[in-house]
């Protein structure tokens, strides 16, 4: 298998220090191995983000963030590659920045994506700054499946070549000035190619299974029961006419579009239409009452000059959703309306809407309202 090292770094390898964010997984390990093989000065860093005191040992092993096994795997890979390695405790910063945000959004009737906040505030803010100041890094590398194209007008964020693994959605809120200091050494590869390279490099994590859940919990409902006890109160389930159909367990346990787990018996399938936080009521209705054809987004991060007029794009409203044709209508530099060509059922406040033109990610923002 002949593969070019597509790092898009503007300086010669022997003069460039790259810090690799290591997780103990196959993607970041191969990213580090490729950089070493190409002759860069490489250093490894791992962030200790979270240890949940409420999780038992079995749950903690499933929760892939910062386990003893993950730390040991990352250390072994660094030793094998002959690069220095540091483990940095940022658990308090993570708690204050990501976990508190996660809890606040759920208790406000919204459905957050904590990866967006973690990438923007922890990995590509704190960690990038640490790499530059403490380790004299020129660039920070991660194992994300995305690509960068450096142009005179700035760095373009492109989808990863493996469409099933593409992570440009969760990178869309990273400001342009930080993108200029990043590189994604596996972004132009597919997952099978990454595993093949891991075997070629003799990395022990070549067959390591992938993580699926939130990095800081394997069960968000149990997590909220422990960390947001005062905000979880049973209340009424109402239909669109206001008739009470049953009782919910607590609004943070539900999300717009949810059908299963409502505990209702009805002649037609019912879905969560809205979370009425003011009255602690869960609003349900038929499928045709879901969603709409436009949304309002705030906190928009443009990776290019903000448009001065309506712009034709495709948009993703969840990490794993398909692209949907739409028009972005700018309101301010950081807010806009997004009008879709066809109605969508699962537009959810708190999630991100991310803008694309073919393979290029133009940026994204947080869905404020439907």
Instruction: Show which residues are catalytic.
Output: 118, 215
Cα–Cα nearest to 31, from 167, 134, 178: 167
Q: What phi and psi values does residue 20 have, to the nearest 5 degrees?
A: -105, 125
Classify each residue of 300-313 as buried b or exposed e, where b means 16 or more C-beta atoms within 10 Å of its C-beta: bbbbbeebeeebeb
Rounded distance, CA 122 to CA 99, Å?
A: 12
C-alpha count within 13 angstroms, C-beta hemisphere, residue 18: 31
DSSP state at residue 88: E
Residue-level length of the chain: 370
Provide the 3-class DSSP secondary structure of residue 323: coil
Closest CA to 184 of 137, 139, 128, 126: 139
Please give, one letter per residue, the 3-state secondary structure of 160-211: CCCCCCCCHHHHCCCCHHHHCCEECCCCCCCHHHHHHHHHHHCCCCCCCCCC
Report how far residue 10's alpha carbon sits from residue 338's, in angstroms, rounded to the nearest whole number.
36
The angle at the Cα of 307, spanning 303 to 310, to the nearest 5 degrees, equals 130
Percent of the chain that is helix, strand, coil (3-state, to 5):
30, 30, 40
Q: Which residues, 6 or more positions from 61, have their beta carbon under 8 angstroms from its beta carbon?
A: 67, 69
What are the DSSP calls for 309-321, one per residue? S-EEEEEESSTTP
Q: What tokens does 24 get?
A: 């103990």
């Amino acid at each position: 298998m002949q593969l070019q090292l597509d790092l898009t770094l503007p300086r010669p390898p022997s003069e460039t220090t790259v810090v690799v964010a290591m997780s103990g997984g196959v993607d970041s390990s191969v990213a580090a191995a490729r950089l070493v093989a190409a002759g860069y000065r490489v250093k490894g860093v791992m962030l200790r983000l979270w240890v949940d005191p409420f999780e038992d040992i079995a749950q903690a092993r499933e929760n892939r963030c910062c386990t003893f096994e993950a730390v040991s795997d990352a250390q072994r890979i660094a030793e094998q590659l002959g690069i220095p390695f540091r483990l940095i405790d940022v658990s308090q910063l993570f708690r204050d920045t990501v976990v508190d945000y996660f809890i606040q959004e759920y208790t406000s009737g919204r459905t957050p994506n904590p990866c967006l906040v973690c990438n923007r505030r922890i990995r590509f803010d704190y960690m990038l700054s640490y790499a530059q100041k403490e380790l004299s890094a020129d660039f920070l590398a991660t194992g994300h499946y995305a690509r960068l194209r450096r142009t005179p007008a700035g760095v373009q964020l492109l989808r990863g070549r493996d469409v099933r693994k593409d992570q440009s959605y969760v990178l869309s809120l990273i400001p342009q000035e930080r993108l200029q200091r990043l590189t994604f050494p596996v972004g132009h590869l597919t997952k099978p190619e990454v595993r093949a390279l891991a075997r070629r490099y003799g990395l022990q994590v070549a067959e390591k299974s992938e993580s699926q859940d939130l990095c800081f919990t394997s069960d968000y409902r149990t997590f909220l029961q422990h960390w947001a006890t005062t905000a979880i109160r049973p209340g009424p389930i109402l239909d669109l006419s206001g008739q009470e159909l049953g009782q919910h367990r607590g609004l943070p346990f539900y999300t717009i579009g949810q059908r299963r787990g409502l505990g209702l018996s009805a002649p037609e399938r019912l879905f969560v239409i809205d979370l009425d936080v003011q009255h602690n009521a869960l609003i349900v209705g038929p499928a045709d009452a879901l969603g709409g054809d436009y949304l309002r987004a705030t906190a928009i991060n443009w990776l290019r000059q903000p448009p001065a007029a309506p712009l034709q794009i495709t948009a993703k409203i969840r990490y794993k959703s398909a692209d949907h044709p739409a028009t972005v209508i700018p309101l301010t530099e950081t807010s806009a309306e997004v009008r879709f060509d066809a109605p969508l059922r699962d537009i959810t406040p708190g999630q991100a809407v991310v803008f694309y033109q073919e393979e290029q990610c133009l940026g994204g923002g947080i869905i404020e309202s439907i």
